[in-house]
Amino acid sequence: MSRSIAYTSSPLLASPTPVWRSKFIVATIALAFAGLVGRSVYIQVLENDFFQHQGEVRFTRTLSLPANRGRILDRNGIIMASSIPVPSIWAIPEDVPRDPDGLKKLATILNIPLAELNKKLEDEDKTFVWLKRQVDESVASEVTALGLAGIYQRKEYKLQYPEGEAAAHVVGFTNVEDQGQEGVELTFNKELGGKNGSRRVIKDRMGRVVEDVGEQIAPVDGRDLQLSIDSKVQFFAFQKLKDAVLQHKAKAGSVVVLDIHTGEVLALANYPSYVPDKRQNLSGAQLRNRALTDTFEPGSTMKPFVIALALNKGNVKPETQIQTAPGRMTIGSATISDSHAHGVLSVTEVIQKSSNIGTAKIALQMQPRDMWEMFNNVGFGQKPILPFPGAVSGRLRPYKSWRPIEQATMSYGYGISVSLFQLAHAYTIFARDGDLVPVSMLKVSGPIVGVPVIEARHAHDVRNMLHLVTGPGGTAPKAQTMGYSVGGKTGTAHKVEGRGYADKKYRGVFAGLAPIDSPRIAVAIMIDEPSNGQYFGGDVAAPVFSQTVQQTLKVLGIAPDMSVKPQVVTLAVPESF
């Protein structure tokens, strides 16, 4: 049975309490409250900006809303470059547990050294660090499966290039920040890139968005870009060029295909090349857009321009006879020569047989200024009017400094340097009845007005001469194309090495038109340093021309203008330089 307790009779409770103690307790509580009020005023009013900033630093984030990069399309709407969403892996370092096994697995999945991963987590910003950007979905799934705290994913955009190495030098590529670095991606970066948006949010310690702060700015997607390139022509030209470079054990090669009517670039390819979205161990040799950036002495491909000028000035006619015997000619202290003696040749035969002596004699009948103006008018010595990175102007020295021997050698392609693109462009004057057509890397609708350079009748005369070059007795029978008439000019030039010319290093070149009576395309091929026994332009470059022309004209829907397969001459025909 419980015992009752009389609390009121407790001596402790019955003892009197000093008044000062209760007042002290009340004063202490009041003082503490006043301190809290003061601290609140200090934080909320006096130092509000500082603490607001600290709060924002810790929990407020501005999220970038990436714009979708515009697609690059060929002339028929086939995609050559497009953006796809991909995950990127990031972390809040201070939240990541230092679990050796877990971090080792993470490093293995991301394919980065464990030491590099640890360095990122230790040395970088404690609230954000990229671990690996633009990874495959399978990698992102494996990271998620690890379940490591502080590891997160974010969507970014990555470019895909379906045409691969065939169109690499045209399309180019972007870096991880989606900024164009080469080719069309660099040239038209502003149009393709659009403008990123932004979103201001508050995040918790787990990186989750708690609420939006302020106004959201929507991204503006980049616009699509339609090129003049035909992906079918581009692929075929690249493949045939690659085959030729490998067959002749050459250092490199380039090909350019132009539409005569519109000036559009239908194909521009180089080998070696690279895959734009797989650029590990990329070398400068692969990266160079040689058709635009590399210059060379074009050899005999220059002869038609000298003959066209002489015809235009009335100095000669196609049937005018030129004595080229004995196959050598001394100018000052220097001697020039043909590959073998031809005797008397008509002007037409000078082109057909590629006579250095005949061309030099015709050139020396004219003033240096006349030749310089001709070369300048077709674009030599000038940077192509083409919005493309790396295009060069080549070398055309002022005519006032030309000596007679230099004027003579320039007439057959020594002492002047051009790019392959410039050469292909210049040959359009023979296809367009004397007009030089402006060129474009973007799709053009309708015919374009060209700039007159020579009279139409003389352009037609030279075109007939170019046709004979590809026939029996010419230097390029291997340029003949089944079903289509063609014309063109070979060029074979020693490579410059040091202060002179290398004895056994050459560039083989061919530039031409098709179909010859009503040209639709101009094609130029350059094979750099072939070393498998053949090096003449008629042997190494002309076959690539033949194959490229046939495929291109079929793709463009041009009906064959020849009903019988040409009789290809298989005997080696000497080529003059």
> 500 is written with which tokens?
């002179």
Of 484, 122, 485, 428, whose CA–CA distance to 256 is shortest?
428
Of 415, 304, 412, whose CA–CA distance to 352 is shortest?
304
**Long-range contacts for 332-340 (Cβ within 8 Å, ≥24 apart)?**
332/403, 332/404, 332/405, 334/405, 336/360, 336/405, 336/408, 336/409, 338/576, 339/574, 339/575, 339/576, 339/577, 340/574
Residue in 82, 231, 273, 300 annotated catalytic: 300
Block residue for tokens 């046709």: 467
**Angle CA 486–487–493, to nearest 5:** 130
Helix axes 356-363, 404-411, angle to 10 degrees: 130
Query: Three-state secondary structure along 357-398?
Result: HHHHHHHCCCCHHHHHHHHHHCCCCCCCCCCCCCCCCCECCC
- What span, in angstroms and rounded, lies between the C-alpha atoms of 167 and 466? 30
Give the CA-trace dihedral at 176, 177, 178, 184, to 10 degrees.
Answer: -80
Of 65, 388, 67, whose CA–CA distance to 223 is shortest?
67
**Collapsed DSSP state (helix, strand, coil) of residue 230:** coil
Judge whether 549 and 486 are in contact, CB under 8 Å: yes
- 173 has which bridge partners? 182
> 161 is written with which tokens?
């290039």
- What span, in angstroms and rounded, lies between the C-alpha atoms of 228 and 510? 23
Residue 16, Cβ density class (10 Å: 0-12 exposed, 13-18 middle, ≥19 buried): exposed
> 54 is written with which tokens?
């600290």
Judge whether 544 and 241 are in contact, CB under 8 Å: yes
Residue 300 is among the residues annotated as catalytic for this protein: yes
- What span, in angstroms and rounded, lies between the C-alpha atoms of 19 and 183? 90
What's the one-letter identity of residue 129?
A: V
Q: Under the phi-then-psi rule, with left for phi > 0, alpha for psi from -120 to 50, and beta for the rest, what region is 332?
A: left
Give the number of residues written for the chain: 577
Q: Give the CA distances from residue 486 to residues 16, 27, 576, in Å, rounded to whole numbers and listed in that order.
A: 126, 109, 21
Cβ partners under 8 Å of residue 27, min gap 6: none
DSSP-assigned letter for residue 314: T
Query: Three-state secondary structure along 333-363?
Result: CEEEECCCCCCEEEHHHHHHHCCHHHHHHHH
Judge whether 148 and 92 are in contact, CB under 8 Å: no
**What is the set of active-site residues?**
300
